[in-house]
Amino acid sequence: MGQTEHILIVEDSTTQAEYLRRILESEGYRVTVAGDGES
């Protein structure tokens, strides 16, 4: 309650990851982006 959901985006395309991050943050989510599974 009162906590923001946190989403991890793993995407090697910087453009797509940034697009998704902006959309999700505008909806109130906390977002972390990783460029690959090793990040």
* pLDDT surpasses 70 at 39: no
Q: Average pLDDT in the 4-30 region?
A: 96
In this predicted model, what pLDDT tens digit does every residue of 11-23 receive, in sequence order?
Answer: 999 999 999 999 9
Rounded Cα distance between 26 and 39, Å, is 24
Cα separation values, 11 from 1, 3, 30, Å? 29, 25, 16
C-beta of residue 7 within 8 angstroms of C-beta of residue 24: yes
Domain boundaries, the chain: 1-39
pLDDT-derived band at 4, boundaries 50, 70, 90: confident
φ, ψ for residue 34, nearest 5 deg: -120, 140
